Each structure stands twice: as structure tokens, then as C-alpha cells.
Structure 1
Amino acid sequence: MKFTMTLPADAPAKTVKELLEEDWLVPRKVRHFIRTRKGLLVNGQPRHFQELVQGNDQITVILEATDYPVRQILSGDPRQIAVLYEDEHLIIVNKPAGMKTHPNQPDEKDTLLNHLAAYLAPSAEPHVVHRLDKETSGAILFAKNPFVLPILGRMLEQKTIFRRYQAVVHGELNTDHTITKKIGRDRHDRRKRRIDQKHGKAAVTHVTVAKHLGKSTAVFCRLETGRTHQIRVHLASIGHPLAGDPLYSQKASGRLMLHAFELQLVHPFTKETIQVIAQPSLW
């Protein structure tokens, strides 16, 4: 594997070691391989780890396939993939409702990850950055190589990947809400989560009213955290469960009305802003 990135013009000067370790989160073992093989070039020339790099420098990292663990993903159907954005390092696709993000058993091959593996083969392989529930549709981000995966993971943890969802809830919701209730596992149903202020994990969902739809309300939801079923549990906790929710609504019929409508991030290498809108929308 070979990756070539040009540092942004305003990038501050730093050592090669700082770039690999602090900015790009390259594991220590892989940094050792790069150093001993002289696998890093700056503007086409080998550089020692204590030498400086700066804005507009072209950085080339040369890796062996054995530097990262090999994963076995069964190949699915590439025709199932609807690309919203793609470059050498990452891909954002539009997941249909009713499709799992990734397999839970080794013999599964009808998930989004399987289909994406078929789409990218043989030049790249997909790595899960975040997940959407099976019933949820919309924009979802994958890394195309293990080199960029930890950087995108850190961006997710630091809340610099913006995600906005469309939803339709039961009842007339008239005011915006910021819901901060902690979420934990449901002891009585392993499929479900519940509000657990004592033992649950912190969760923050911002809910904005979009328009009223008779006996239901269209809303936008913005996540600060990514707990399992977070939007579904939070909206149910204020008495406005998602329409079509088989787990958290007493009046479930039709599809789950939750759609990952917008995803935005700053590219970890080029620093350009990437924004995608997943169509069709819910309303």
C-alpha cells in the first residue's frame, strides 16, 4: 500500500514523528516498520523521523500488506452501493432502510459492508467508522484503508463529524429540545436500550421541529454522541417515539421514520470540507 498526501499550505512545521504519531495516529508497530524500511518520503526523498515537514510538502507513506491485520469479508453485490462521496481514503454511501451495516456472523454476506467490499475490490477494503441501525437509512461513512481508520475514529470521538437526521415522531411536538438523558441496556430485552440516569452512558441529542404533519411532527436530530438507538430512545423518553419504531412505539406500522440526512466533515489530509445530503429525504 502506498499513500501520497500533500500537507495543507497553512500546516505548521513539525517532525515526521509528530505527524505520524499525533496527527495521523499511526500505531507504534507500524511506525517502526516505516522507519526501518525507510518507507516515508517527503517530496520524493527519504526523511528521518526527527526532520521537519511543513505546508505544501508531499508526504508518501509506503506500507506492506502485513503491517495491518488481514480481515475476511464475504463479497456481496456491488450494485447495492449508492455512493455519495469517494476518494482514495474514504467513502460515504447511502444505506437503504432494512439493511444491516455489517455482519454479525462470519457467513453473512447481505450487509452494507459485504456489498461495499465487492464494490471496492480488489483495490481497497471497507472499514466501519460508525453504524446505522438496520431500519435506518441514509449517509454512512467508511474508511477505505486501515491507515485512515483511527483518524476518522478520533474525529468521531471529538465530535468533529457533523451528523443530522430527519425523523417523524408521533404527536404534535411544538418546541425544540436538547435531550441529555443517559442511556443503558434494557435488562429485560437484549435488543433494546433504556434511559438509565444512574448507570447509563452520557448521550446528547438536539431536536429541532421542522413542520407539523397532522398527528405527527417532522423533526431534525443532531447527535453529539453515538449511543445505540440514541435518537429512538431519547424521542420515546419525551413522549414522542419515532413513527414505525417496532421497539419503542406502541403504534408501529410501516418503515422506521429515521434517515441520516446530512453528514459533514473536514477531510483529515486535504482539510477540505466534505458535505453530503442523502436523498430521497423523508419529507
Structure 2
Amino acid sequence: MNEILEVVIEEQKGRLDKVLTAEFSQFSRSQIQNWVKNNHVLVNGEAAPANYKVKHADVIRIERPEIVELELIAQDIPLDVVYEDQDLMVINKPQGMVVHPSKSHPDGTLVNALLFRNHDLSGINDVIRPGIVHRIDKDTSGLLMVAKNDETHRALQEQLMDKTVVRKYTALVHGEIAHETGTIDAPIGRSHSNRLVNTVRQEGKKAVTHFTVLERYQGFTLVECQLETGRTHQIRVHMKYIDHPIAGDPTYGPSGTLKGNGQFLHAGVLGFTHPRTSEELMFEAPLPAIFEETLNGLLKK
């Protein structure tokens, strides 16, 4: 059964997600935003967006979804730990590894590996995502933050929402991009025809990706993409939108053009402020071997 939470607005003002975060401090803002996104939050009986401005006497009802019980197994899976201290870890996730368990991937995930290595993980998210502050797709490689306690988790999530976290990705895309830099400012939402994929939609959520050309090849371009927002599949959707889909992308790009194990997309740079020490941290992870080998086999322009 879903847990029902309800509040009647008296004096609170502001965005729906911010008001609910203040009202229900036991939940993170990202959790509440996810519930809003999936229509688990009703205002006066109707679904409302996260930026809805609450009004006096609004009745807000949260139908907190029931957590699917999965048995979390600690598994001895090697991890590339780039950084670790008492509060957090930075992991270089390999291509092919799922971040957290689900019905379709009950084990062999990053979470299973983390539980074997360290039982001290934050519990901000639901039970199947201990320590997971943000995620990258199964077939995207690269850097991820992992929180060991709730205070660190909340602080890192706030940095993500405030857009102060540096996240740069290297991507090999189809076609030869003529200009050196660009910004894709196009809202993203679920596809009407296929709920498993996202697309650029006028009624979608704001999404901004900046890119810089690193190298041009015959038929391909190597770019560095920097996220300003963090929508699901954002870079993959945006590059397809400008007719330069990521090479090897089984969902948003043409198939069979290059040998590989999925999209050539690597989260190579991650920077943030340490919540405890206020130190500015910046990490870099080299391209996976298959990515380097593929680039070496292409003809430069």
C-alpha cells in the first residue's frame, strides 16, 4: 500500500517542490521532485509540475509509492575507486555496469559492489540506492559520486540542483560538426510513442547541454559535453536532436556503425565542493580502452 501524506497550505509560498521539501524534511528534494514527476503528488486532486506556485488553502497530497523489496547482496565486484574519505567516494564506473538493482538487474550492480566494500552508505534514497547521489546509464562509463552519510548526500544533491557540480563528458558523435562550440537549450520529456525513451518536447523540462569540438574524423566528431542540467539521457537526446547522435547508441543512434558495447559516451570530468572541508575537488578519468582503440582506427580530417 502507498503511504499517504497530506498538507493544507496556510502561509507557505513558493514552488511546490521547495515547499514540500521544507514541510517534509525527512525526504530529499530530489525524492520529492521524482514523486512530482511521476504524478504521485496531487494539488487539489490534480497533478501539478514541480514549479507550481502554491497558494493559500491548497490541499497537497503525496501518495508515496511503495518500495519494491529487493534482496541486496554484497558482491565482490572490482571497483575503480578514484577517491575516498570518511564522507564520500568517487567511482569510475565501467561501461556495462548498472548503477543500482532493479527487477531486470537484481545484482551485479554498482550498489552490490559498494555494499561488499563499505557498509557505511547514506540512506537518503530508497533501500535499493544506498549512497547513490546521481547515476549514469549502464553503457556510459565514467565518474560518479557516492555518499557515505545522509549529510553528505543532501549537500551533494543541493550542489547538483544549484548547478555547481562540474560534469563533462566525452562523446563520439555521427557527422562532422562544422562549428567549434555550441549550446543545446531544448526541453526534454518522455516520448508519447515510447515511454522508455526521452525526446525534445515543448512541454518537457528545461535541459541545457554545452559542447566543444575536440577532434574531427571522417564521418564522426569527438566532442566534450558539459551538462548544465541533468535530465535522463540528456546528452544522448540532445545530440540526436541536432542530427549528430552518439556513435554506438542503441536507442538514439543508428546501429552497427562502429564495433563496441554501447554508446561512446564517457563521464570523464567531475568536480564539486567537499561538503565537510569546503575543498574544491576535481577528478578526471581516462577514456576506456575500447573508446581509445576506436578513435585510433578513425581517419582524422
TM-score, length-scaled by structure 2: 0.67
Write the letter of the residue equivalent to 1:114: N
SS in 2 for 1:250: coil
Q: Which amino acid aligns with 2:154?
A: P
Q: What does the per-residue CA deviation read over 1:165-214, in whole Å, with 9 as the maximum and x for residues that have no partner?
A: 000000101211100010010122222101102x1000000010000122
Aligned AA (2:185): T
Where structure 1 has 5 or more consecutive residues not aligned to the other structure, the ranges are: 1-24, 31-70
Is the contact made by 1:172 and 1:215 (CA closer than 8 Å) also made in structure 2?
yes
Which residue matches 1:117?
115
- CA drift at 1:72: 7.4
Q: Residues 73 and 80 from structure 1, CA distance in 2 versus in 1: closer, same or farther, beyond 3 angstroms? A: farther
What is residue 234 of structure 2 aligned with on the other side?
230
**For residues 128-207 of structure 1, what are the structure 2 equivalents within 5 Å?**
128-175=132-179, 176-197=181-202, 199-207=203-211
Report the equivalent of 1:54.
Answer: none
Map 1:1-283 → 2, pairs under 5 A? 74-105=72-103, 108-121=106-119, 123-124=120-121, 126-175=130-179, 176-197=181-202, 199-252=203-256, 253=258, 254=260, 255-281=262-288, 282-283=291-292
* Structure 2: distance between partners of 1:261 and 1:100: 18
Q: CA deviation at 1:268?
A: 1.3
The alpha-carbon deviation at position 108 of structure 1 amounts to 1.1
Quick one: distance in 2 between partners of 1:127 and 1:185? 27
What letter is aligned with 2:141?
S
Q: 1:144 to 1:169 in 2, by over 3 A?
A: same
Say what the alpha-carbon RMSD is for the aligned residues. Answer: 2.3
Which amino acid in structure 1 is aligned with residue 241 of structure 2? S
Q: Deviations over 1:123-174 (max 9, x none)?
A: 4464111110111000011111122211111110001110000000001012
Structure 2 residues not aligned, in runs of 5+: 1-21, 28-68, 123-129, 293-301
- Using a 3 Å threshold, how does the CA distance of structure 1 residues 211 and 85 change in structure 2: closer, same or farther? same
- Partner amino acid for 1:237? Y
Percent identity of equivalent pairs: 41
How many corresponding residue pairs? 216
What is the TM-score when the length of structure 1 is the normalising length?
0.71
Which protein has the larger Cα radius of gyration, Structure 1 or Structure 2?
Answer: 1
Report if aligned partners of 1:73, 1:114 keep a CA contact under 8 Å in 2.
Answer: no
**Structure 1 residues 213 and 28 mapped into 2: Cα distance closer, same or farther (>3 Å)?**
closer
1:117 to partner: Cα distance: 1.5
Larger RCO (alpha carbons 8 Å, 6+ apart): 1
Counterpart Cα distance in 1 of 2:143 and 2:270: 6
What secondary structure does 1:127 align onto? Answer: coil
